[in-house]
Amino acid sequence: MYNKGLYHDWVPKPVQLLLIVILMAVVMPLGGVYTGNISYMVGSTGALSEYYMLANYATTIGMGACMPIVLRLKMRFKIRHKITLVLILLGILNYINGSTLQPTVIIASSLMIGFLKMIVAIELFLPIMTMIGNRGMFYGVFYTFILVTNQLVGYYAVKVSILYNWQHFFIVISILCFVLALIQWIFMHNKYFALKVPLYYIDWLSILLFISTFMFSAYVFSFGKQQDWLNSDKIINSGIAAFISFSLLVVRQIMLKRPYLSFKIFSKSNVLHGLFMLLGLGMFLATTSIQNIYAVGVLGYDQLTNAKLNILMIPGIIVAGCIAVIWFKKDIPLKNYIFLGFSAMLGYAVIMYFSMVLEFNFEYWYLPMFLKGYGMTALFIAVWYYTLDKLELNDMLAAIGLFLVWRTFLTVGLFSALFSWFQYQFQMESLGNMAVYMDGLTVSSQNVLSGMKTIQLNAIIAANKKIFGYIILAGFTILIYVMTHHFGGKRFQYVRFVRVLHGKSVIARRRLKENKQLAEELKDAAGAL
């Protein structure tokens, strides 16, 4: 009656693994927009780029909104029906994104894509987790595969947009989703994963409050610079709406018997320290906005060349993943691995600080992008592992949506907005400093245009260097913090006396053991998200 696998028993194991890998390669990188395509979408639709940044954030918010209920959805429906329907819906949503010119439609579609892709994702992790066994090794393999796939998809999204049109890439993804839906319908079994559970325990109002909280926040991060931050009534009202929505969300969780979110795990030491380290990771990941300003605005790279910079991270990603597998296999303490991850990100920032010049060859990107890829992957694996370590399944599932939004949206969005604001302020300051030395003797009327362009570029470089300087100082502070943190090490040892209880039946002990093993597998798979 129940089948914890995905496919019929007559499907060979290598074929099952191949189908899982193909499904992961298509579904996991899905998004409502692809950052490299935003400039083409702006040029085609005439809408502000901030709308598409909001759509990019909406995908992550949809993923976070789905996480607390993903296990209940998994146990409610038969796998073949669920996966096939979700893939068809993803194909339809991608077709909508590729055919509409309304940015608000793309934002709504992106939110649904993020929500639906998590329903498929949880199904893919369990078989791979079962094969690998070790949770840390699984994270090493999973994040390496996903991050490499994301870089490749982002590159080919730009390439297809240049050769044809930005809409064509969405159409290609839509066709792939429909083809995969047909394949999964043929090979997947038609049984439940475990005991069927009802859906009426899901509090849909909490989900709406969750989405509204972070969508209003995303609007602030996306449109803050364009609306001039606190000088805009829209930004102020959106911030107030986000605060009210979050307050109502918290109050509702207190009143519910089965809350949608759990806040009690935030009292645990590893969770709080993990969230702080994810904040540091978000700071380093947000440097992508500064990097893009330098690569496109100063060096004059086109979108395809700029996308190739992400490809340069792949060697670092693979190296970090291989080291993680060995690290967790030998059960080496996490502190050194996390320290190496932050050191790599700090090394990237130091190199970029000293490389902010007008004369910068493409070959000079190899080392900093390798370090960035290594650091990003190492911290994704190790910090996520440490943050979710030793949490109960129900508590973790009820809070992992907040973790996911914190890691991928809030921290990166917050620092990206801050860096954007500081970049503009520092640029104006640099122009003011250089204006002191500008007069008719240094800048003649014949060369004023070329001279002004050089001055503007130097102002951008000076602003970027200043931001990277502050990031480097913060990076050293994070390294000191990592060196002094205990990472769960036991400070005191004590003897625990265990009283063996007799009288339990063999069947009862076996049932408890099976339930515990299933809970651990579900927790490890869900934690990978």
State residue 242's pLDDT score: 95
Per residue, what are the HEC states of 276-301?
A: HHHHHHHHHHCHHHHHHHHHHHHCCC
Average pLDDT over residues 259-271: 83
Q: What is the mean pLDDT of residues 71-76?
A: 80
pLDDT higher than 50, residue 226: yes
Q: Residue 111: how many CA atoms within 13 Å on its side-chain side?
A: 18
In the prediction, which pLDDT does 522 show? 52
pLDDT at residue 292 is higher than 50: yes
Are 2 and 193 in contact by the 8 Å Cβ rule? The answer is yes
> Which residues have C-beta within 8 Å of that of residue 397, sequence separation ≥ 6?
67, 68, 70, 71, 523, 526
The arithmetic mean of pLDDT across residues 354-369, rounded, is: 90
Contact 444, 88 (CB under 8 A): no
pLDDT at 517: 59
Q: What is the largest CA-CA distance in the chain?
A: 99
* Percent of the chain that is helix, strand, coil (3-state, to 5): 75, 0, 20
The Cα–Cα gap between 264 and 529 comes to 20
Alpha-carbon span 261 to 258, nearest angstrom: 9
pLDDT at 495: 43
Tell me the pLDDT band of 500, cut-offs 50, 70 and 90: very low
Helix (H, G, I), strand (E, B) or coil at 445: coil
| pLDDT winner (highest mean) among 31-35, 115-119, 242-246 | 242-246
pLDDT tens for 120-140 read: 888 887 777 777 777 888 888
Lookup: tokens for 479: 């390294």
Is pLDDT above 60 for 504? no
Which two tokens mark 466? 């200043």
In 3D, which of 357, 351, 353, 349 has the Cα closest to residue 458? 357
- Please report which confidence band the pLDDT of residue 360 belongs to, taking 50, 70 and 90 as the band edges: confident
Question: 238: buried, middle or exposed (CB in 10 Å: 19+, 13-18, 0-12)?
Answer: buried
pLDDT digits (tens, 9 = 90+) for 374-418: 999 999 999 988 888 877 766 777 677 888 888 888 899 999 989
Confidence band for 230, pLDDT divided at 50, 70 and 90 = confident
Predicted TM-score (pTM) of the model is 0.88
Average pLDDT over residues 133-156: 89
pLDDT at 448: 58
Q: Is the pLDDT of residue 160 over 50?
A: yes
What are residue 7's phi and psi, to 5 degrees? -120, 165
Provide the pLDDT for residue 501. Answer: 44
Looking at residue 54, its pLDDT comes to 93
Residue with tokens 């190296």: 319
Q: How many CB atoms lie within 10 A of CB 296?
A: 15
| Cα distance between residue 130 and residue 324, in whole Å | 18
Mean pLDDT of the chain: 85
Average pLDDT over residues 296-313: 90
DSSP state of 483: H
**What pLDDT was estimated at residue 325?**
92
User: What is the model's pLDDT at position 449?
Assistant: 62
- Helix/strand/coil for 192: strand
112 to 91, 201, 243, 265, 370: CA distances (angstroms): 12, 21, 23, 28, 33
CA 424 vs CA 40, 160, 286, 456: distances in Å: 24, 32, 16, 12
Q: What number of helices (H) and strands (E) belong to the chain?
A: 20, 0
pLDDT greater than 50 at residue 499: no
